Amino acid sequence: MSRARSRRPLAAIASCTALTTAVLLSGCSSSGTADSSSSSRGSFVSMVTPESTGEYYGAMYCGAKAAAAKAGIKLKIQGTPETTVDAEMQVVQSVLATNPGGLLLTVWDNEAFNQTLASYTDAGKPLIMPDSFLSNDKFLQSVRTDSYQSSYDAAVQALKDFRIDSGKVLIVTDSPGNALQSDRAKGFKDAVEKNSHLKVLKYQYVGGDAAKAAQAVTAATSANSDLKLVFSTNIGAGTGVASGLTSAGAHDTVHIGYDTSKAQVEALRSGAYDALIGQSPYQMGYQSMELMGQILNGDKKADSVGEKTVHTPWKLITADNVNDADSAKFLYNADCSAN
């Protein structure tokens, strides 16, 4: 049976996590640094992420800036245009040398930064991690999507709506050092194996490299005529998978992707994706900076922070619901005035 995208749209599913923080819609610019008129205790907060030029982290910056302005905290944002450990490590080391009063940090490798940050956290400085965490747990709180559950539920929905009950599945993801994306891959794989008889092929580790992802999926379609479903766990991988499937003429292979950049949303509308898992980067930035402000302003003590992990909402975006009002907050936008 053909599973043409225009005929069998996926049903919408969303996380049951409620928004825990009000969204502040003003006082935010698109620049790399946000300064309030005054600074608590004369301190400042640094924020470091990879992929600083993308819409995902741009939306996260907007949230952090809004919360910083509300708390009266000076916020300095720095990042790298790539996701490599070496590039971000240089930025982190440079930032630590300025001795920020607090640090918001997102990393792709959950082990590589443990030693570098040890002296900072051991000194009692607050480290809060939007969309990230360290394997040694030396941070106050991680504010992120439930990577495993969101991917598990997306796989269940795809199997149901496309009635996929035989064939093979390919998962294209980042290296095992990226714990969040490993959770995405595992969630999807577990759902497929528990709810179907499909065979999951060996993971293809491409990082966020679109060219590598395209090569991987082209090779997979050539070697497996019964490839029915592909899951890509990040924007770069998804871009490459979409290109590879188009080049291979695999129009009936269902493609579920993670994230909702503008290019991905347009690709969803054109049929290069069947569904996208949209996260809440604005909320990740806002809630992380809100907690940081409470600590630096003396409204909350660091040792009173009880929840190590806070999950923000997510939603499965499809061609059917992409224009719904509720979906808008899950589509990434680096224009702070639009968040």
- Between CA 105 and CA 128 the distance in angstroms is 7
- Between CA 228 and CA 252 the distance in angstroms is 7
- Between CA 43 and CA 38 the distance in angstroms is 10
Q: 144 and 206 in contact (C-beta within 8 Å)? A: no
- Between CA 262 and CA 259 the distance in angstroms is 10
Q: 283 and 80 in contact (C-beta within 8 Å)? A: no
Q: Which residues pair with 33 in a beta bridge?
A: 76
pLDDT for position 31: 38
Rg from Cα positions in the chain = 20
What is the 8-class DSSP label of residue 323? T
Q: 25 and 333 in contact (C-beta within 8 Å)? A: no
Q: Any idea how long the chain is? A: 339
- Closest residue by Cα to residue 175 from 229, 108, 232, 114: 108
Take residue 62 and report the two structure tokens written for it. Answer: 């907007």
* Cα atoms in the 13 Å half-sphere on the side-chain side of 303: 1
- pLDDT (tens place) for every residue of the chain, 339 residues total: 334 444 344 554 554 333 333 333 333 333 344 444 334 444 799 999 998 888 999 999 999 999 999 999 999 999 998 889 999 999 999 999 999 999 999 998 999 999 999 999 999 999 999 999 999 999 999 999 999 999 999 999 999 988 898 999 999 999 888 999 999 999 999 999 999 999 999 999 999 999 999 999 999 999 999 999 999 999 999 999 999 999 999 989 999 999 999 999 999 999 999 999 999 999 999 999 999 999 999 999 999 998 999 999 999 999 999 999 999 999 999 999 887
- Between CA 246 and CA 111 the distance in angstroms is 36
